[in-house]
Amino acid sequence: MDESERGAPQEPFRPPPSCVLSLDFQGLKTKLLTYLRAEDVGRVEAAYHFAADAHAGQFRVSGEPYVSHPVAVASLVADWHLDPQALIAALLHDVMEDTHIPKAEIAERFGKVSAELVDGLSKLDKIEFRSHEEAQAENFRKMLLAMASDLRVILIKLADRLHNMRTLGHMRPAKRRRIANETLEIYAPIANRLGLNDLYRELQELSFSNKYPLRYQVLAKAIRAARGNRREVVGKVSTAIQERLPQWGITAEVSGREKHLYGIYRKMVEKHLSFSQVLDIYGFRVIVGEVSSCYLALGALHSMYKPVPGKFKDYIAIPKANGYQSLHTTLIGPFGTPVEVQIRTREMHHIAEAGVASHWLYKEDEKTLTELQQKTHSWLQSLLELQSASGEATEFLEHVKIDLFPGEVYVFSPKGTIFSMPKGSTPVDFAYAVHTDIGNRCVACRINGDLMPLRSELNNGDQVEIITAAHANPNPAWLSYARTGKARAQIRHFMKNAQQDESVALGERLLNQALRPHGLTLGQISTFAWERFLRDRGVRHKKEIFSDLGLGKRLPAIIARRLAQAQDMESGRPDVVKPKPAGAITIRGSEGIAVQLARCCHPIPGDPIIGTLRKGQGLEVHTHDCPSVAKLRGDRGRWVDVEWEAGDDRLFDVGIRVLTRNARGVLARVASAIAEEDCNIQSVHMDNEQGAYTALNFTLQVRDRMHLARVMRAVRRVQEVVRIGRVKGDGRAV
Q: Which positions are catalytic?
A: 97-98
What one-letter code names the amino acid at 391?
G
> What gap in Å lies between CA 649 and CA 605, rounded to an integer?
12
Sheet holding 585-587, edge to edge: 585-587, 639-644, 609-614, 618-623, 595-597
> What gap in Å lies between CA 80 and CA 357, rounded to an integer?
6
- The DSSP code for 523 is G
Half-sphere exposure of residue 104: CA atoms within 13 angstroms, side-chain side: 0
Half-sphere exposure of residue 395: CA atoms within 13 angstroms, side-chain side: 15
- Whether the Cβ atoms of residue 588 and residue 566 lie closer than 8 Å to each other: no
Three-state SS across 60-117? CCCCCECCHHHHHHHHHHHHCCCCHHHHHHHHHCCHHHHHCCCHHHHHHHHCHHHHHH
> What gap in Å lies between CA 363 and CA 131, rounded to an integer?
40
- β-strand 418-421 against 409-412: which pairing, if any? antiparallel
Collect contacts of 628-631 with beta carbons under 8 A, ≥24 apart: 628/598, 628/600, 628/601, 628/729
- Whether the Cβ atoms of residue 73 and residue 163 lie closer than 8 Å to each other: yes
Q: How big is the chain by its Cα radius of gyration, in Å?
A: 34
> What gap in Å lies between CA 538 and CA 546, rounded to an integer?
15
Closest CA relative to residue 372, chosen from 344, 399, 352: 352
DSSP assignment string, 419-483? EEE-TT--HHHHHHHH-HHHHHTEEEEEETTEEE-TTPPP-TT-BEEEEE-TT----GGGGGT--
CA torsion angle 303 305 311 316 (round to 10): -40
Half-sphere exposure of residue 247: CA atoms within 13 angstroms, side-chain side: 10
> What gap in Å lies between CA 131 and CA 673, rounded to an integer?
60
Q: Length of the chain in residues, anyone?
A: 734
> What gap in Å lies between CA 70 and CA 63, rounded to an integer?
15
Please list the alpha-helical segments (H only) found in 555-594: 556-571
SS3 category, 119:
helix
Burial of residue 594 (number of CB atoms within 10 Å: 0-12, 13-18, 19+)? buried
- The DSSP code for 51 is H
Helix axes 393-404, 485-515, angle to 10 degrees: 160
> What gap in Å lies between CA 380 and CA 398, rounded to an integer?
16
Q: Where are the beta strands (DSSP E) in 261-380?
A: 282-288, 313-314, 327-332, 338-345
Three-state SS across 168-203? HHHCCHHHHHHHHHHHHHHHHHHHHHCCCHHHHHHH
